């Protein structure tokens, strides 16, 4: 087992390793005095893994109630969120108790938001079961649900007390889910660590999952520790995301987040290289990394469509929009663009 400590406002450990779910009871005991919890999971992950977590919790003296919602992004809404809260209340969960989110980013975001708001906030533990959740969403304390008007429009910052990542769970991931996680992994390497990029380009990643998650978590933690509430440096984690979100939106959310981010990174790299912000060769390296993990790089939408979708993005402040560009491989910065500037950026991103 490897452990990374996230030094957020309240520090917490991220344990990464094989078979960790069977030690959940012992690991959870280290961070709470309560012996009651609610396990939130989805209809796919629950049958696969909840039994092991519950058995381990029970052995350590915990009593747990379980809520499973239908798997998938479409469940990440106010209705499911409301049902989770009612479930907590019906089972008399108190502020002394805690929540465990067992599943991918959808489960983590939604159970985290329920924990952030139930009785004005109860502790929660993330047990991510996708590479994306392990490497990105379960660390950093962003929780949310989607509205009809857009993704993640309601949420809260609420840091977990503990993150338990059992890398064995990745073995049952559906086709394509690993690639989604690799998009955020490539993003972390591109913005923060050129050596990690070299590692990813050279190694057989399926045999190196523990290290990959660890490095992802270290990079994300180092950014989040400096800027927990995303006022500055944390924005760098949005590399590929301004246009990535626009692509998700244009597709009616049929293009998954990781795939959209992959295309978004390629677009941002092309625009930045053409504008002379990124050195020659950046686009080629970004495209090679995405291709290596089976991720798409071609954008199916015209510049005008992307611009319209991007200007509806919640990250647009009054003064303009921040896009992230690579100063070189392994180093990123934000560019503040007004609406005209964004238009030029999107034009320059087109092949
Ligand atoms: N909070 C953040 O900082 C942050 C960052 C990035 C993404 N996100 C959010 O994360 C979500 C995407 O996360 P995701 O890709 O993990 O989606 P997900 O939770 O929907 O999981 C993808 C699918 O895989 C299934 N699954 C999960 N683990 C499995 C396993 N081990 N074996 C078999 N099937 C498994 C799930 O049931 C689901 O059908 C989005 O809603 C996105 O907005 C949040
Ligand atoms: Zn992302």
pLDDT tens readout for residues 180-191: 999 999 999 999
Tokens representing residue 209 in the block = 């999952």
Give mean pLDDT, residues 317-342: 90
Asked if 242 and 301 touch (Cβ cutoff 8 Å), the reply is no
Tens digit of pLDDT for each residue in 209-221? 999 999 999 999 9
Does 203 lie in the same domain as 150?
Answer: no
Number of domains into which the chain is organized: 2
pLDDT at 311: 86
Query: Do residues 57 and 79 share a domain?
Result: yes
The alpha carbon of residue 222 and the mean position of all alpha carbons in its chain are separated, in whole angstroms, by 15
Residue 249 and residue 284 share a domain = yes
The answer to whether 208 is a known catalytic residue is: no
Residues 57 and 140 in one domain: yes
Residue 107 has pLDDT above 70, yes or no: yes
Do 271 and 189 lie in a common domain?
Answer: yes
According to the model, what pLDDT value does residue 320 have? Answer: 85
pLDDT at 292: 98
More confident: 107 or 9: 107
| Cα atoms found within 13 Å of the Cα of residue 141, Cβ hemisphere only | 26
Is residue 175 very low, low, confident or very high in pLDDT (cuts 50, 70, 90)? confident
Q: Among 14, 21, 132, which residue has the most ligand 1 atoms within 8 Å of its CB, making it the best to mutate? A: 132
pLDDT at 150: 84
What is the helix (H) or strand (E) element at residue 336, kind and residue range? strand 331-337
What's the pLDDT tens digit per position in 25-65?
999 999 999 999 999 999 999 999 999 999 999 999 999 99
| Domain stops at, among 172, 198, 231 | 172
Ligand 1 center from residue 351 Cα (angstroms): 31
Q: What percent of the chain has pLDDT over 90?
A: 91
Best substitution site from 19, 45, 128, 147 to test ligand 1's pocket, by max atoms within 8 Å of Cβ? Answer: 45
Average pLDDT, the chain: 95
Query: Domain check: are 80 and 66 in the same one?
Result: yes
- Whether 120 is a known active-site residue: answer yes
Q: Cα(116)–Cα(85) distance, rounded to whole angstroms?
A: 11
Distance 304 CA to ligand 1 centre (A): 30
Pocket of ligand 1 (CB under 6 A): 42, 44-45, 48, 71-73, 76, 103-107, 109, 129-130, 132-133, 136-137, 140, 142, 151-152, 169, 172-174, 177, 180, 257
Reading the block at residue 33, the tokens are 């005095």
> Do residue 161 and residue 193 come from a single domain?
no
* Residue 317: predicted pLDDT: 53
Residues 168 and 198 in one domain: no
Q: Would residue 184 show up in a list of annotated catalytic residues for this protein?
A: yes
Distance CA 180, CA 75 (A): 19
pLDDT digits (tens, 9 = 90+) for 150-172: 889 999 999 999 999 999 999 99
What pLDDT, on the 0 to 100 scale, is given for residue 318?
55
Cα–Cα distance for residue pair 25/113, rounded to 1 Å: 23
Q: Are 143 and 24 in the same domain?
A: yes
Residue 207: domain span = 177-349
Share of the chain above pLDDT 70, in %: 98
Which residue is closest in CA terms to ligand 1's atom 7? Answer: 137
Q: Same domain, yes or no, for 43 and 160?
A: yes
Q: For residue 237, what are the CA distances in angstroms to 32, 90, 147, 320, 334? A: 31, 38, 23, 18, 10
CATH, residue 9: 3.40.50.1970
CA–chain centroid gap for 37, Å, is 24
Write down which residue in 172, 188, 203 finishes a domain: 172
CA–CA gap between residue 78 and residue 154 (Å, rounded): 9
Mean pLDDT, residues 304-325:
80
Same domain? 167 vs 191: no
Tell me whether residue 142 is one of the annotated catalytic residues. Answer: yes
- Residue range 236-260: average pLDDT? 95
Over 90: is that where the pLDDT of 18 sits? yes
Residues 341 and 192 in one domain: yes
Q: Which of 122, 148, 172 is the last residue of a domain?
A: 172
Q: What is the CATH number of the domain that holds 243?
A: 1.20.1090.10
């Amino acid at each position: 087992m490897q452990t990374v400590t996230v030094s957020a406002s309240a520090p917490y450990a991220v344990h990464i390793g094989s078979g960790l779910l069977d030690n959940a009871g012992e690991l959870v005991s280290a961070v709470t005095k309560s012996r009651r919890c609610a396990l939130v999971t989805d209809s796919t992950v629950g049958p696969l893994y909840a039994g092991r977590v519950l058995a381990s919790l029970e052995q350590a003296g915990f009593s747990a109630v379980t809520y499973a919602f239908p798997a998938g992004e479409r469940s990440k809404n106010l209705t499911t969120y409301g049902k989770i809260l009612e479930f907590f209340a019906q089972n008399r969960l108190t502020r002394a108790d805690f929540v465990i989110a067992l599943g991918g980013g959808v489960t983590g975001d939604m159970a985290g938001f329920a924990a952030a708001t139930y009785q004005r906030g109860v502790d929660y533990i993330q047990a991510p079961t996708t590479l994306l959740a392990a490497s990105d969403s379960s660390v950093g304390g962003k929780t949310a649900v989607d509205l009809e008007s857009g993704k993640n429009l309601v949420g809260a910052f609420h840091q977990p007390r503990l993150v338990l990542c059992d890398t064995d769970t990745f073995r049952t991931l559906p086709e394509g889910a690993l690639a989604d996680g690799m998009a955020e992994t490539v993003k972390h390497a591109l913005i923060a660590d050129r050596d990690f990029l070299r590692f990813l380009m050279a190694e057989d990643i399926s045999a190196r999952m523990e290290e990959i998650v660890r490095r992802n978590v270290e990079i994300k933690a180092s950014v989040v520790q400096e800027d927990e509430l995303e006022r500055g440096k944390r924005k760098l984690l949005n590399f590929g995301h301004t246009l990535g979100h626009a692509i998700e939106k244009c597709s009616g959310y049929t293009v998954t987040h990781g795939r959209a981010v992959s295309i978004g990174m390629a677009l941002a790299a092309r625009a930045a290289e053409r504008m002379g912000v990124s050195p020659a060769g950046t686009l080629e390296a970004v495209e090679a990394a995405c291709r290596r993990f089976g991720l798409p790089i071609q954008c199916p939408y015209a510049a005008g469509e992307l611009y319209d979708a991007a200007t509806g993005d919640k990250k647009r402040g009054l003064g303009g929009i921040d896009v992230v560009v690579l100063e070189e491989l392994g180093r990123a910065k934000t560019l503040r663009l007004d609406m005209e500037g964004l238009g030029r950026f999107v034009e320059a991103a087109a092949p």
